[in-house]
Amino acid sequence: MSEERKSLNFIEQIIEEDLANGMAKDDLRFRFPPEPNGYLHIGHTKAIGISFGLGEYYNAPVNLRFDDTNPAKEEQEYVDAIKRDIAWLGYNWDKELYSSDYFQQLYDWAIKLIKEGKAYVDSQTSEAMAEQKGTPTEPGVDSPYRNRSVEENLELFDRMKKGEFAEGEHILRAKIDMTHPNMLMRDPIMYRLVKAEHHRTGADWCIYPMYDWTHGESDYIEQISHSLCSLEFKPHRELYDWFLDQVVDPELLRPKQREFARLNLSYTIMSKRKLLKLVEDGVVSGWDDPRMPTISGLRRRGYTPNALRKFVETVGVAKRENVIEVSLLEFCIREDLNKTAPRVMAVLDPIKLVITNYPEDKVEWLDAENNPEDESAGYRKVPFSRELFIEKEDFREEAGNKFFRLKLGGEVRLKNAYIIKAESVVKDANDEITEVHCTYSEDTSKKVKGTLHWVSIRHAINAEVREYDRLFMDEAPDSHPDKDFMEFINPDSLKVIEAFVEPSLAEAKVGDRYQFQRLGYFNVDDDSTSDHLVFNKTVGLRDTWAKVTSTERGRSEPKQNNTQSQKPQNNQPKRKAIDVIKQLGKKYTNLPEEKRLRVRAEILQLAEEVSYEELEPLFNTAVKKVGTRIAVLLTLKVMLNNGLKQTSEIDDFIEKALNDKNDLLVNEAKS
């Protein structure tokens, strides 16, 4: 967590109040308590960030405690994966603990409750118990076994512990109140029989404590000051406190449970059970498949710890459930990789380009900047020769004035090299273009609008590129009661391409991240070898999904309900992209960070539809209109990335922004 935050979130306010009311700062202790029944996913990063972030902010210890009370679903593999993920995110825990460490203490406390008449062994079927539990509006009915004697309960519970009964034959329940308005307080289950090998305790136990009984007592044993959990556990707080009432020593610290809204992400599922189904059904290659929302999947896809931590910090801590657009997560990784990823050239869908007036045997090694965002990144050498590969979509025989790439009779600049002019094409028997013949000019000072990336055919390295798209086509794939979430699987979520990359990538190592210029960000996959390079597409340079959504809804206009009174609005013409950008820029500097990042992403997308002629008049925007100037800079950035030649007017506008007093404006100008 950053110490530069302007205001405390509600959890920090609770902690500050506790400190003001006499709690010693040395008594602060937090915990992250995952169940090792699957891999951590993007939703867990919020819970991790909150607990470990508070630990960093208050310089307080944070325990990593595994809630391992269900041996039927938990494995050591998941424990190891969870530890690896948290460490990769950059967090350090104080103690590594397990709920299974406390099985004996929990059992002893259960005996205490039985002796005090506060717990009993129930021998009903699960169906009978569900029937007599009542409803939220109707009270429950006492179990016929509720008034068993202490002696009988102790005997039965001991025999349960020894494994003398079958699973489901008996359970231990707390004796609270079957008419309580909170159904969780209606004699909740404390122990059940599970005859399965535990990953740590083996066959020592065949009765296992339930989560509600284990959670608060484990917090108390560890002297956790603030037990933070997601919002669905708010109704459990009353039971959490009741169980603590039975065991706490008033001289010791009593944990306090507080709840926050969990992280829900569009186009994603967060259920570990459903993620496991994707793995077991072979929809994905494993928990670390780069399409999975697991931390290990995101890591393999090329995401960085900084991007995930920035995402969690931007989302913030809320009391109400909401759904965060996945585009914000993608924006965070773009921003991080833009600063750190070396630029290289790769061609994914090649067409051969022959420079007819370039000597056949000549090779030049030209200087190419590694990262314009990092002055210390330096330069590398790239080979240039007569025959090159360029992207097939970068050439058209005929095209309009807004096509800034190569067309017959047109000129473009080859990145880091010369200006070329398309003279003719060669076609096959199917009338498909197989070669583009060009001439080059050594006059590199000429002004042309387009710049293309390329790879020398003679020096190109073959590489496998895995282009990933979103795994689901629906924003909320598991929210349809009448449909299986599997129905929304995107059949085109993975596309394998045989590509060509520049020779500097011959030494690329697993995990290395790059920007393939004009294409997106890619990293070297775990399957890569020195003989067979494999790259994963992390994210594109722009949000192509947002472009589709924006077009469908008429740019930034909100969706309209299909009512009679709103029909005239729906028939209005779409606004020009430049007009929407100007409007978005007006209040840009006054927006909270999360919303500002969303608006920034929208401006960058809209910039694809703006011409230089529309943008240039805005170079004269008044100094005090900082938001509009930022919007212009963002639009300009996209145009320059797309090959727009930098002019003296552009240089003057950027220079003026660099000398401004507003940090947001200056930072955009620097990039």
Half-sphere exposure (Cβ direction) of 588: Cα atoms closer than 13 Å: 30
Catalytic residues: 35, 262, 272
Q: Dihedrals φ, ψ of 471, to 5°?
A: -70, -25
CA 154 distance to own-chain centroid = 49
For the chain, the distance separating the N- and C-terminal CA atoms, rounded to the nearest angstrom, is 25
Rounded Cα distance between 573 and 24, Å, is: 63
DSSP 612-631: HHHHGGGGG--TT-HHHHHH
302 within 8 A of 510, measured Cβ to Cβ: no
Helix (H) or strand (E) holding 160: helix 150-161
The residues with which 495 forms a beta bridge, in sequence order, are 467
Rounded Cα distance between 97 and 92, Å, is: 14
Rounded Cα distance between 42 and 295, Å, is: 6
Rounded Cα distance between 471 and 298, Å, is: 13
Eight-state DSSP code of residue 341: P
Rounded Cα distance between 616 and 527, Å, is: 47
Adjacency order of strands within the sheet including 433-441: 451-452, 411-414, 419-427, 433-441, 350-355, 387-391, 455-456
467 within 8 A of 535, measured Cβ to Cβ: no
- Assign 3-class secondary structure to 427-488: ECCCCCEEEEEEEEECCCCCCCCCEECCEEHHHCEEEEEEEECCCECCCCCCCCCCCCHHHH
For the chain, the 3-state helix, strand and coil shares in percent, each to the nearest 5, are 40, 20, 40
Closest CA to 301 of 291, 309, 310: 291
